[in-house]
Amino acid sequence: MTNKPRLGVFSVTGCFGCQLTLAFVEDILLELLDKFEIAAFPMLKQENSYENLDIAIIEGSACRQEEIEELKKIRNNSKIVVALGACANSGSVQSIIEVSDKKQVMETVYNKKYKQYNPVEVGGIDKHIKVDFHIYGCPPDKEDLLLFIKQLLAGNIKPKQVDYNVCVECRAKANPCLLQEGKFCVGALTHGGCNALCPTNGHYCFGCHGYWEDSNVEALTELFKEYGFDKQLKNILAKFDCTSKQIKQIVK
Amino acid sequence: MKTVKLDHITKIEGHAKLHLVIDNNKIKKLKLGAFEGARYFEGLIVGRKQHDVPIITSRICGICSCIHVTASVQAVEAAFGIKASQQTKKLRELMVIGERIRSHASHLYLFALPDYLGFESSIAMAPKHKKEVNQALELIKLGNNIVTTIGAREMHPVATVPGGFTALPKQEELSNLLKRLKQQRKQAISTAKLFASLDYPEFENKTQYLALDDNGYSNISGNIVSQDQKINSDDYLKHITEKIIEYSTAKFSTLNKKPFMVGSLARLNNHFNTVSKDTQKLIEKFDLQFPIHNPFYNNLCQALEMVHHFDEATEILENLKIKPEQPAELKNKSGRGVSAVEAPRGLLFHDYTFENGKIKHANIITPTAQNLNNLEFDLWKYVPALLKLSEPELKFEIEKLIRAYDPCFSCSAHFLQLKLER
Ligand code: SF4
Ligand code: SF4
Ligand code: SF4
């Protein structure tokens, strides 16, 4: 008998980008798979068991009632549940609907001959089940994700997770600061973990890792106003984490 | 009466199910549907500015986010009357070729090959076929590295924006890619040989085959052809109709009221004589007579395309000298822009209408949404011959056909989630 941890990798509605980020660890994939007993991974496997999981990694957010049931089933069978990526943590771009005129959004896509369908409120999976760990990003950074998995494998049941904003990593890379140059960037409000990917590549941070809880949000929104960026701020933030309280406030 | 339900078709991207009712050796009901939740992309981007649109629509699909972003920025540019620079076009093309290589390699080796070699999954296949799995991973890695070198991230690239690139690759990074393409080319060829050696089920179902055309095989530019028709990309709506089906969250498409197929098989059926010389030589060597009407050959076509993409990428890289360039600036405008491109799984349309720099209307048609109808059409014809099989065998054969299409339901289904009004 093996005593490898039983792992399940599941998805509800998302884009499969997070699971693929996990699967595309080319050099060590086989080695990594060998460290687990892969009980379920419907993207890669035909036979999937939900029973007695040690770790369940979940991508996506529930957009249909059946998916909420699926999440509960996974939770009831798993010791540890990990929310992987922006969808699972806060709904990613599908959460935009929660700060839009819902009826209008649906009507643009709906054929009129169908009755208004009753969607579930979009958000992170922790709306429906208890989540033990959060890995942020749309998609998450591969190194960040691997570090987390390695810690879990080493038996660390309280793995260290990123708890700072993008600016911390951005300064560590000695990037010139866009905001200080009077240009737009929401790195200060955003969870780190991506190694300041966008500012390093000539793009402002648009917040794909979600809202960073310890942001000095009042001071920052004031600053954005001063710069004349308030409209842009709303537009940019109305994307990956529209269900967090603070973002809802800024965006509305 | 016998009911066969495949409630969760595995080893594909996305969530789909099939409901089949057989009575007296005849199919009474056959419904293949996507059951992804709705994400309403076309509704979500209404009112958005040009720079927000690709960031949002990229999330339609992870595995093909580069082509979604490319279609999106091209549609924005068309609406704004901007012409991308030659360098920008080449870099975009290279990025989507990288994506194509990783997408084909993962589908061929990780999803389809276990079907043919008799394994439950690539994970189960790995211990006995280390060489093949390692080859797959090396090809995926190369594809990923091409994408990252240009787009700055494997999934949902950040450097590709309307007007150009926010950061450019270094020349030495490109030389490095060129070197690796040359080294790994034999892997692409051995992939084609491997997939030419497999036993594909005997089955034919002639349909319409639709592909992009720019004086031959094309990835991101041009108009649309089928064997007997040329369609201007801007006019796609006059020919392709999307229908809402109550059992699927993805729409079903028809071309001139009939099902049609897009993807590798459709591309080669139209363009087998304009792919790279060495790809043509392989086609000859394998004694393939295009057009081919067996959908299982889609897998072999993907493998052949991989060789073509290696050759295309090599040619681009041998001629590309990066010069500094800033993305073109976009001033608020009104107008419509359509971009038709080839995603790994087939034609993809992004169609935006802007009013004063904000989206007023959007239409996006993904490849799997176009193929679903044809896949159902194939199943109606394929299943009757299989009725003698046991239920697990029948299910396996059906899934095998579905997987041959390399469907991506995360892509196809994010537009509708419906309840039928009765
Ligand atoms: S978080 Fe982003 S990358 Fe992950 S599934 Fe959702 S949309 Fe895709
Ligand atoms: S560029 Fe953006 S992420 Fe970097 S330090 Fe400045 S505000 Fe923070
Ligand atoms: S810089 Fe911001 S937008 Fe870019 S990857 Fe990091 S968190 Fe996401």
**Per-residue pLDDT tens for B317-337?**
999 999 999 999 999 999 999
Q: What is the pLDDT of residues A57-73, one digit of tens each?
A: 999 999 888 889 999 99
The pLDDT value given to residue B10: 57
How do strand B2-6 and strand B16-23 relate by DSSP bridges?
A: antiparallel
pTM higher than the cut 0.90: yes
Q: Which helix (H) or strand (E) holds B184?
A: helix B171-196
Q: Are B303 and B196 in contact (CB under 8 A)?
A: yes
Which tokens sit at A145? 């994700």
Which tokens sit at B308? 């073509």
Atom of ligand 2 nearest to the CA of A190: 3
Q: Are B180 and B268 in contact (CB under 8 A)?
A: no
Q: Are residues A127 and A222 in the same domain?
A: no
Interface test with B, best of A7, A16, A141 (most B CBs within 10 A): A16
Residue B23 lies in a domain: no
Residue A56 lies in a domain: yes
Q: Measured in whole angstroms, how far is the alpha carbon of residue B136 from the centre of its chain? A: 18
Q: Are residues A18 and A130 in the same domain?
A: yes
Over 80: is that where the pLDDT of B411 sits? Answer: no
Overall domain count for chain A = 2
| Residue B376 to chain A, least CA–CA distance (Å) | 21
Confidence of residue B415 (pLDDT cuts 50, 70, 90): very low
Q: Report the first-to-last Cα separation within chain B, whole angstroms.
A: 26
CATH of the domain at A113: 3.40.50.700
Q: Which residues contact B321 (CB under 8 A, 6 or more apart)?
A: B171
- The percentage of residues in chain B with a pLDDT greater than 70, rounded to a whole number, is 90
Nearest to A197 by CA among B156, B69, B92: B156
Q: Are residues A61 and A109 in the same domain?
A: yes
Which residue of chain A comes nearest to B415, CA vs CA?
A109
CATH of the domain at B214: 1.10.645.10
Residue A233 lies in a domain: yes
Residue with token string 């080796």? B109
Q: Which helix (H) or strand (E) holds A82?
A: strand A78-84
Q: What is the pLDDT of residues B182-237, one digit of tens each?
A: 999 999 999 999 999 999 999 999 999 999 999 999 999 999 999 889 999 999 98
Q: Which residues contact B55 (CB under 8 A, 6 or more apart)?
A: A206, A239
Residue A160 lies in a domain: no
Atom of ligand 3 nearest to the CA of A190: 7
Over 70: is that where the pLDDT of A93 sits? Answer: yes
List the single residue in A29, A47, A239 with the smallest CB-CB distance to B137: A29
Q: Which residues of A touch B38 (CB under 8 A)?
A: 13, 63-64, 109, 117, 119
CA distance B38 to B24: 37
Q: Is the CB of A171 under 6 A from ligand 2?
A: yes
Residue B104 lies in a domain: yes
Nearest to A74 by CA among A144, A148, A132, A153: A132
Q: Which amino acid is residue A133, in one-letter code?
A: F
**What's the per-residue H, E or C state across A52-80?**
CEEEEEEECECCCHHHHHHHHHHHHCEEE
What value does the mean pLDDT take over residues A217-223? Answer: 90
CA distance A52 to A72: 14
- Ligand having the closest approach to the CA of A18: 1
| Residue A155 to chain B, least CA–CA distance (Å) | 24
Confidence of residue B24 (pLDDT cuts 50, 70, 90): confident
Which tokens sit at B276? 């790279």
Q: Are B374 and B27 in contact (CB under 8 A)?
A: no
What value does the mean pLDDT take over residues B5-34? Answer: 72
The pLDDT value given to residue B372: 85
Q: Are B354 and B81 in contact (CB under 8 A)?
A: no
Which of A18, A63, A95, A125 most suits a substitution to test ligand 1, by most atoms within 8 Å of the C-beta? A18
CA distance A126 to A129: 5
Runs of H (alpha helix) within A4-141: 17-23, 29-35, 65-76, 85-90, 102-109
- Does residue B372 or residue B11 have the better pLDDT? B372
**C-beta atoms of A17 and B156 within 8 A:** yes
Residue B157 lies in a domain: yes
Q: Are residues A31 and A97 in the same domain?
A: yes
Q: Are residues A18 and A115 in the same domain?
A: yes
- Tell me the CA distances in angstroms from B106 to A75, B122, B123, B344, one per residue in order: 29, 10, 13, 11
Runs of H (alpha helix) within B81-170: 86-105, 113-117, 122-125, 130-151
Which of A143, A198, A203 most suits a substitution to test ligand 3, by most atoms within 8 Å of the C-beta? A198
CA distance B223 to B167: 30
- Ligand having the closest approach to the CA of A173: 2
* Cross-strand partners of B208: B260
Name the residue range of residue A45's domain: 6-154
CA distance B189 to B286: 12
Overall domain count for chain B = 1
CA distance A113 to B292: 39
Mean pLDDT of chain A: 89
Residue B13 lies in a domain: no
CA distance B384 to B361: 43
Q: Which amino acid is residue B266, in one-letter code?
A: A
Confidence of residue B389 (pLDDT cuts 50, 70, 90): confident
Residue at a domain's end among A122, A154, A186: A154
List the single residue in B42, B165, B418 with the smallest CB-CB distance to A117: B418
Residue with token string 């010139």? A176
Task: Flag whether residue B138 sits within 8 Å of chain A, measured between CB atoms.
Answer: yes
What value does the mean pLDDT take over residues B238-249? Answer: 74
- Ligand having the closest approach to the CA of A175: 2
Q: Which residues of A touch B35 (CB under 8 A)?
A: 64, 66
CA distance B70 to A163: 33
Q: Measured in whole angstroms, how far is the alpha carbon of residue A183 from the centre of its chain? A: 26
| Residue A5 to chain B, least CA–CA distance (Å) | 16
How do strand B229-231 and strand B240-243 relate by DSSP bridges?
A: unpaired
Residue at a domain's end among A107, A133, A154: A154
What value does the mean pLDDT take over residues A3-20? Answer: 92
Residue at a domain's end among A128, A154, A180: A154
Give this complex's ipTM.
0.94
Nearest to A236 by CA among A216, A211, A213: A211
The pLDDT value given to residue B416: 29
Q: Are residues A105 and A46 in the same domain?
A: yes
Residue A203 lies in a domain: yes
CA distance A161 to B52: 29
Nearest to A198 by CA among B51, B173, B172, B50: B51
Q: Are B202 and B293 in contact (CB under 8 A)?
A: no
Q: Which residues of A touch B158 (CB under 8 A)?
A: 197-198, 201, 203
**C-beta atoms of B417 and A198 within 8 A:** no
Which DSSP letter does residue B231 get?
E
Q: Are residues A40 and A140 in the same domain?
A: yes
Residue A159 lies in a domain: no
Q: Which residues of A touch B393 (CB under 8 A)?
A: none
List the single residue in A43, A67, A115 with the smallest CB-CB distance to B13: A43
Q: Are B103 and B93 in contact (CB under 8 A)?
A: no
Residue A57 lies in a domain: yes
- Does residue B103 or residue B11 have the better pLDDT? B103
Residue B344 lies in a domain: yes
Q: Are residues A23 and A91 in the same domain?
A: yes
The pLDDT value given to residue B32: 76
Name the residue range of residue B92's domain: 41-370
Residue A244 lies in a domain: yes
Residues with CB under 6 A from ligand 1: A 14-15, 17-18, 59-60, 85-87, 92, 138-139; B 59, 62, 155
Residue A21 lies in a domain: yes
Q: Which residues of A touch B358 (CB under 8 A)?
A: none
Q: Are residues A98 and A203 in the same domain?
A: no
Over 80: is that where the pLDDT of B26 sits? Answer: yes
Q: Are A177 and A205 in contact (CB under 8 A)?
A: no
Q: What is the pLDDT of residues B147-162, one digit of tens each?
A: 999 999 999 999 999 9
**Separation of CA A104 and ligand 2 centre (Å):** 35
Cβ neighbours of B230 (radius 10 Å): 9
Q: Are B175 and B184 in contact (CB under 8 A)?
A: no
**Separation of CA B158 and ligand 3 centre (Å):** 9
- Tell me the CA distances in angstroms from B33 to A66, A205, B394, one per residue in order: 15, 37, 18
Atom of ligand 1 nearest to the CA of A93: 7
